Structure 1
Amino acid sequence: MKQKLSIVKIGGNVIGDPSQLSHLLALFSKLDGNKILVHGGGKKATEIGNKLGIETKMTNGRRITDAASLDVAIMVYGGLVSKKIVAQLQALGTNAIGMSGADANAILAHKRPVKEVDFGWVGDVDSVAADNLFKLLQAGFTPIFCALTHDGKGQLFNTNADTIASELAIGLSQQFETTLYYCFEKKGVLRDIEDEDSVIQTIDSKAYKSLLEEGVIAEGMLPKMHNCFHALQNSVQKVCIGDSSMLEKTNSNFTTLTL
């Protein structure tokens, strides 16, 4: 019987709110068994970049990562945000270890090809070093991944944190029974964006298609849902979307995705 693994991805609004972050980390620290946390930090990178006079460039809601912006991402994701999270988790009794895709050769990627848009130093994931991560988890460490990958040739990339969480879950699904949690500021996928209590508690492939056609799932939720179903189609046991309260054992008011 496989051991269980929980992979929790936290969004920028959670990272940017100290009380929300503290609450989530307290819940994360109480999760049973093996666990991994994945975080971004785009809002903080924008804030620090502005202070340094480095303009944030976006297209269709996606970040363009030039050389200067990549340096900011490395500093903020791999340094400022990562180490603050690791320190808080250590205080909560979780033996956390801050990681990028380059650490332990964990996540290999390639530079996104230039098509309609040149995203710069943005990486698309090629592979996850599941054996190396398995050893870390079995040794009692809790990896804390930031949104950075590498190409194995010395180049770091800015990589979408939702994608990293999905690819980690897929890569480790052979060794573990894996549940992927996407934690953000909403209680789950909402039928009515104006109604915080209109959580759709279960979405399977058929319902997903209908919700797309109805326009219920749109805009920023589209890439997140794509990552969710990509994970499910590649042996991940279960995917959940909601706010930090979904990590509480007594809570059932969030969205669970299944095939």
Structure 2
Amino acid sequence: MLEVRGLRKVYEGARSVEAVRDLTFAVGKGELVCIVGPSGAGKTTLLKCVAGLLGCTSGSVVLEGETVTGPPPGMAVVFQEYGRSLFPWMTVWQNVERPLKEKRVPKAERRRLVSEALEAVGLADVHHSHPWQLSGGMQQRVAIARAVAYEPHILLMDEPFAAVDAQTRADLEDLVRALWQRLGVTVLFVTHDIDESIYLGQRVIVLSNAPTVVLEEVAVDLPGERDQLATRSDPRFAELRARVYTLVQRAKEGHRPPE
């Protein structure tokens, strides 16, 4: 589904900054893969390159066999700053519907897609409300509903739960896994939360400190059905958490994979 091949990104200016040096990894169709790394490791830069919002200095991003040179039509992105991605003068329904209008989806089909997406995220009863009338967690559900309604082949999520409280975060994690399993969409999920990466993902890609390379990929061999209490109490969850935590600490100390 997605291949990142030797991706390098340098920000040019009075003083050039090499943010990403050499990233190579692949994401299979229908996978849910999480990316973690120390602060400043280039996680958001990577996601913007994958989304076609930033150009690569060298290397390439290939989605479904096509090189990404701009935002691909089969991709949707959910950002951390969800408040900025919602139009405050539009209702919840209108916010979710907007990308479908841009896509020129017929009106009857738009109505079906928006209705199903809002039902899926538990917001069917507030579709006439405006974003500023909703809690942070509900606003993020609107952003997720908008992405789901677009029917993407791949969904990119950039630390989407960083600004919500712990209970809301747990609810949204379960929502994402439920939607992923039901829709079969491919998900690339960037997070700074190690526990979240293990709870959500089938694999965790750990990035080095900048200039960024892949430090290691960790397979998450937990049962497919996950529960906030039972899964996080599983001894294997603790082992995986310790492994990823150790890798992130090594990344902070400047460790890099052998040449």
TM over 0.5, shorter chain: no
Tell me which of the two structures has the higher relative contact order, counting C-alpha pairs closer than 8 angstroms and 6 or more residues apart. 2
Structure of larger gyration radius: 2
Task: Give the TM-score taking structure 2 as reference length.
Answer: 0.31
